[in-house]
């Protein structure tokens, strides 16, 4: 069984991953910024007597990360795996999105992962064994309108992961990427509000796609199980789509030339609705024509 550090475990994919791994017998150090405000995992661990230790850690603060890793090392003496999950979502056109939001998303989704990798990697390298699993997204491959802050951060993490995998292979350290599709988590209810008077109206199509996909109610445990399969060696792939729509979305983008992909976002609504129905088998008209409000899952 492995000693695993998981980031961003207050809710959603992080909480589910920590739970799935602990139920499988792995020792999990689950980190989050404010455990007092997010007691769900602590309560679950106590109720089920799971091997989970919750630590305070902010991936945007190097000292906070070093302190959490030091606590783990003092207790366990070694670490086997890091799961970089902590992340935030954001929507908006390039022109109308404040540079501060781009910086905030990159700080957490990209630089936060690097900080954690740099804190843990020396221990894995000395041990000459270990696994680093980075949770990216299908958005790391599908770069769409009104989604550039999030897409850019996940694309950057994908690129980093490939570089890292090549660097650490000599030390018998494995790097893997998990690419969730649309998973039923609170991230959609926290997405940035688009300005009411935006010049870029196609963002509603992205919201319609999310809303239609969320009807499937794919639980975050689906992602946790993919992480478990990687950690336990059942999956040896570098990239691991997670969720029923993930692989199809990635293959759809890969099947299009770059120019076709760009133009697919510049068609009129009726053409787009027909195209979306053919591609996804879902009629999105009701979402495109309604005021969409995302709510966090219970």
Residue 44 near residue 50 (C-beta atoms within 8 A): yes
- How would residue 197 be classed by pLDDT, with cut points 50, 70 and 90? confident
Query: In the chain, what are the domains?
Result: 3-194+217-245 (3.40.50.720)
Phi, psi for 83 (deg, rounded to 5): -115, 110
Q: Is 150 a catalytic residue?
A: yes
pLDDT computed for residue 192 by the predictor: 56
pLDDT computed for residue 294 by the predictor: 41
- Highest mean pLDDT of the ranges 37-46, 240-249, 268-277: 37-46
Among candidate residues 150, 200, 202, 203, the one labeled active-site is: 150
pLDDT computed for residue 205 by the predictor: 73
- The pLDDT tens digits for 93-140 are 899 999 999 999 999 999 999 999 999 999 999 999 999 999 999 989
Which residues lie closer than 8 Å to 255 by C-beta, 6 or more apart?
Answer: none
pLDDT computed for residue 187 by the predictor: 63
- The pLDDT tens digits for 25-48 are 999 999 999 999 889 999 999 999
Is 286's pLDDT higher than 80? no
Is 146's pLDDT higher than 50? yes
Count H helices, E strands: the chain?
12, 7
- How would residue 269 be classed by pLDDT, with cut points 50, 70 and 90? confident
Q: Percentage of the chain surpassing pLDDT 70?
A: 89
- How would residue 59 be classed by pLDDT, with cut points 50, 70 and 90? very high
């Amino acid at each position: 069984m492995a000693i695993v550090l998981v980031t961003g475990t207050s809710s959603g994919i992080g909480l589910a991953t920590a739970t799935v791994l602990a139920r499988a017998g792995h020792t999990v150090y689950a980190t989050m910024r404010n455990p007092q405000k997010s007691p769900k995992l602590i309560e679950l661990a106590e109720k089920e007597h799971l091997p989970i230790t919750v630590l305070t850690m902010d991936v945007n603060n190097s000292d906070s990360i070093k302190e959490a890793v030091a606590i783990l090392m003092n207790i366990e003496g070694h670490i086997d795996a890091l799961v970089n999950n902590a992340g935030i979502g954001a929507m908006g056109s390039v022109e109308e999105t404040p540079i501060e939001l781009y910086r905030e998303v990159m700080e957490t989704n990209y630089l936060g992962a690097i900080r954690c990798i740099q804190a843990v990697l020396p221990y894995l390298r000395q041990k000459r064994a270990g696994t680093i699993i980075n949770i990216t997204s299908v958005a790391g491959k599908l770069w769409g309108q009104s989604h550039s802050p999030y897409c850019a951060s996940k694309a950057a993490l994908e690129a980093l992961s490939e570089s890292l995998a090549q660097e650490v292979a000599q030390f018998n350290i494995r790097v893997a990427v998990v690419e969730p599709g649309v998973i039923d988590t609170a991230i959609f209810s926290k997405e940035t509000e688009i300005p009411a008077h935006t010049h870029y109206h196609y963002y509603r199509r992205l919201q319609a796609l999310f809303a239609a996909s969320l009807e499937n109610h794919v639980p975050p445990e689906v992602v946790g199980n993919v992480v478990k399969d990687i950690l336990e060696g059942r999956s040896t792939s570098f990239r691991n789509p997670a969720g029923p729509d993930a692989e199809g979305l990635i293959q759809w983008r890969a099947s299009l030339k770059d120019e076709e992909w760009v133009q697919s976002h510049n068609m009129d609504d009726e053409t787009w609705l027909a195209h979306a129905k053919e591609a996804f088998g879902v009629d999105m008209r009701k979402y495109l024509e309604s005021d969409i409000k995302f709510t966090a899952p219970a």
